[in-house]
Amino acid sequence: MNIDEALKDLGETNSEPAIDVEAGRERLRAAIRRLHDDPLEEQRIDSLAKRIDRHERDYRRGRQALQNQDLPAAEHYLRRAAQHGNDEAAYLLGLLLEKLSIERRLKGKPHKADKYAAEARQWRLRAQESGFAEALDETGASDITPQPPSGRRGDDPQRRSVQDTHERENDTDPPACQVPSEGDDCYVIGIELRPYQFTAVLTNGEGEIVEEKTVDLPGMNRETVLSTLAATAREIAASSLGREFSADKMALGVQLGGPVDTETGTVHFFSKHPPGYTAPSEFKWEDFPLARRLQHETGYKTVLVNDAVAFAERERWLGVGQDTGDFVVVLIREGVGGAVVKHGEHFDGPVEIGNFLYGTGNFDQDLEPGDAQLVGVLEVAGGTTGIAKSAAKRTGLAITDIETAADAAEQEGPGHAASTAFLEAGLAIRRGISYLVQFAGPSHVVVYAPEAMLNPERRAARSFLSQVKTFRDSVAFEVFRQCELVTRPLSPNDGAHGAALAALNRCFQIEPRASRISTGAMK
């Protein structure tokens, strides 16, 4: 008996235990009934189906882009497909990155060349382990191997298959911005818009900060803010890159602390307490098409994201996203925000964790409204405005911001009571984290907060963290408790940097490269 006969025999006479078809049928019937009765189950199944369609599309697009010599798009889609277990995509991506590495080295960019080469090795190893590399190396894969660029990418219509055209027509993804010919030829400006102030950073195509600037705003009238943002973006581009720099190779990423619609670039609601300011906010933006207006004013493609999403994007590029595709971010500033990344992609929905109901009637803050004027919500106890208010009430001192609250907590006199405000904030954030963990099942939870709340040398931080670190106790199932807590003290340009990285990804389809910030993980 030769190998073919043996395999044929094996296929025809399966010696494995019989599968109980009737039991399976009964289970399926029950599941279909549940599907009809339970909207959440229906949603779960539809969500799975959509995700599968997307994964299938990623590989086809990556391959098509490779054939069209659209290398940035090929890199983007093949990486996504490879990350979801497509080993042929891993094989092709390894070849593509090797080619890009050689190109960078020839251009005298050894650092970038090394980064490409390192990533290429990872994918190559994966292709070897799966048996792909062995099979394709031996038989040759000339039809799918990256070829030297020949003319402008995608110019040859014969290279576009009917299937690809069909996919583009039925594409439900947001319209992609123009992909530049070389990923590192483009630049982006990231802007973090806060009450009465914004920070802007210019980054190159690698996501490295080239320039940064913080500008105070005299008021929050949205037209005035819009003009100032546009003027600053133009000025940064002109001063750093020259006035002749092509607008096609520039994009803007803007983030702010409120609900936004990234698809349409609309700010749904923005009305924050400025730091150190405890009276109700004196401005309110509702349904303002900020991204479209900025794009019109500057000529740069513009993407708008929620602030926590921008911080999650930063994590995807520089933080825990290097190790996992499943993490959540909790952002603590005047309010409290959240973001979820699942399978390497941002959850496409509001994660308004600061507005989750939290109040128990035990604390004074339960009667205070949050930024959206809801009473008894989590950010009233967990946000810095709420902490400062609570500390002021408890101590009788003139405390208006998180720094003075933390300083008061260091005192042995009446100020000591301020530490209770941090303890209560820790309780609230602990609750919020447990909600997110049970919702998303992440491997990591990343908390961004002011240094005063995270530096264990400060009493305020110790009080706060003593509660936050026990979030696993509020998680019902053991399986979801297996996640790491990572803390990151806020630094001035983190948010703007996150917005820039979001623009790189969404406008130029550039994916994170391997680089890292210290994880600061704590058990």
Q: Which residues bind other proteins (CB under 8 A)?
A: 1-11, 13-16, 18-19, 21, 24-25, 27-29, 31-33, 35-36, 45-46, 48-49, 51-52, 55-56, 59-60, 63, 81, 84-88, 126, 129-132, 134-136, 138-139, 141, 143-144, 326, 343, 443, 479, 482
Residue 520 phi, psi (nearest 5): 55, 35
Beta bridge partners of residue 64, listed in sequence order: none
Closest CB to other proteins among residues 82, 330: 82
Closest CB to other proteins among residues 73, 90: 90
Residue type, 401: D
Helix (H) or strand (E) holding 406, with range, is helix 402-410
Closest contact distance (angstroms) between CB of 158 and other proteins is 19
Closest contact distance (angstroms) between CB of 351 and other proteins is 21
Residue type, 183: G
381 three-class SS = helix
Cα 223 off chain centre by: 28
Closest to 368 measured CA to CA, from 280, 268, 449, 452:
280
Contact by Cβ (8 Å): 254, 303: yes
Residue type, 71: L
Q: CA 442 to CA 319: how far, in whole Å?
A: 14
> How many alpha carbons fall within 13 Å on the CB side of residue 196?
11
Task: Tell whether the torsion through CA atoms of 485, 489, 490 and 491 is positive or negative.
Answer: negative
Characterize 319-355 residue by residue with b for buried, 16 or more Cβ atoms within 10 angstroms of its Cβ, and e for exposed.
bbbbebbbbbbbbbbbbbbbbbbbebebbeeebbbbb
Closest CB to other proteins among residues 135, 476: 135
Closest contact distance (angstroms) between CB of 95 and other proteins is 13
Closest CB to other proteins among residues 8, 516: 8
Closest CB to other proteins among residues 87, 511: 87
Closest contact distance (angstroms) between CB of 506 and other proteins is 24
Closest contact distance (angstroms) between CB of 155 and other proteins is 24
Other CB atoms within a 10 A radius of the CB of residue 99 amount to 18
Closest CB to other proteins among residues 131, 414: 131
Closest contact distance (angstroms) between CB of 175 and other proteins is 25
Closest contact distance (angstroms) between CB of 76 and other proteins is 17
Closest contact distance (angstroms) between CB of 52 and other proteins is 4
Contact by Cβ (8 Å): 197, 256: no
Closest CB to other proteins among residues 169, 216: 169
Contact by Cβ (8 Å): 436, 351: yes
Closest CB to other proteins among residues 125, 375: 125
Closest to 124 measured CA to CA, from 98, 149, 158, 106:
98
